[in-house]
Chains A and B, each alone.
Chain A
């Protein structure tokens, strides 16, 4: 049942949506979370966010989360499979970041 970890890079949209869903979250909450965390650099358009949530749910990287009765907003939470994807992506980004810093030589990384 378990899918292989995705080897190719995730889109920024997919990564940010999954990060926002480490807590149960709905579309509006995801948009607000990402806008705040990126200082307004990323503001999801409704069409983009809708597509991303549907695709991630289809891959079972996020799953519907219906805890509160009567709350009409559709909530999702990241799955274990999704968490593995996020970890793999952060590792990849970390490697790219380190390599980049090494090359441009500002030495901005603390290794301890």
Chain B
């Protein structure tokens, strides 16, 4: 058993590429945790991987989809994407999900926003969506959590500026200097804010290039 830790800035394509590279090296996924992956040895390129975003699905929809994947002889691993959602105790609010998926409860939806799909390599490309329209819909669904995260950081930033409370107390380092706290919090928020901006831009570009195709190709 080989254990690897890995965090992805691009949880779909980045993760897909990495897993397929591991497969090329003769490693097959055996277990997936929040940040770690466990691999078993296999023949090089024996398996193919693709990552699907299912954070917009309700619990019933997810179970139905997983049942379908089993019928398709595709193995899957659930994986969290910790973005743009607000947790309180055992309930997580996902404003970007479809009706029924907005309130994720510990019953089954928390930490199951991504599905890693695994199938035996048949030498043909493994795409979850094979036409332009479906690819566009999937990209738009994936863009939603980043939009919410972006709006959330803006609101937090405004709150700090207008109300003047730093939210986070860095008094240990700043000797109770509020201005210092505010600055640090703003910098942190700014850093968090950069991630959704970059991802929204990337996803929007992909969506736009598909839009041009959509009118001509299926």
Q: Which of B112-160 contact A (CB under 8 A)?
A: 117, 124, 126-131, 133-134, 138
Contact B127 A27 (CB under 8 A): no
Residue of B nearest to A50 (CB): B68
The majority secondary structure among interface residues of chain A is helix
State which of A38-46, A80-88, A89-97, A98-106 sits at the interface with chain B: A38-46
| Interface assignment of A79: CB less than 8 Å from any CB of chain B | no
User: CB < 8 Å: which of B71, B74, B133, B134 contacts A74?
Assistant: B71
| Chain A proximity mask over B204-218: 1 for CB below 8 Å, otherwise 0 | 000000000000001
Contact (A13, B218) CB under 8 Å given A28-B72, A40-B124, A43-B124: yes
A74 to B67, CA, bound (A): 9
Contact A43 B130 (CB under 8 A): yes
Contact A46 B131 (CB under 8 A): no
Contact A45 B71 (CB under 8 A): no
Interface size class of A (residues with CB under 8 A): 20 to 34
Contact B131 A13 (CB under 8 A): yes
Contact A28 B73 (CB under 8 A): yes
Give residues in B with beta carbon < 8 Å to A: 52, 65, 67-69, 71-74, 117, 124, 126-131, 133-134, 138, 218
26 interchain pairs, CB-CB under 8 A? A11-B131, A11-B133, A12-B218, A13-B218, A27-B68, A27-B71, A27-B72, A28-B72, A28-B73, A44-B130, A45-B128, A45-B129, A45-B130, A45-B134, A46-B74, A46-B128, A47-B128, A47-B129, A47-B138, A48-B128, A48-B129, A48-B131, A48-B134, A50-B68, A51-B134, A74-B67
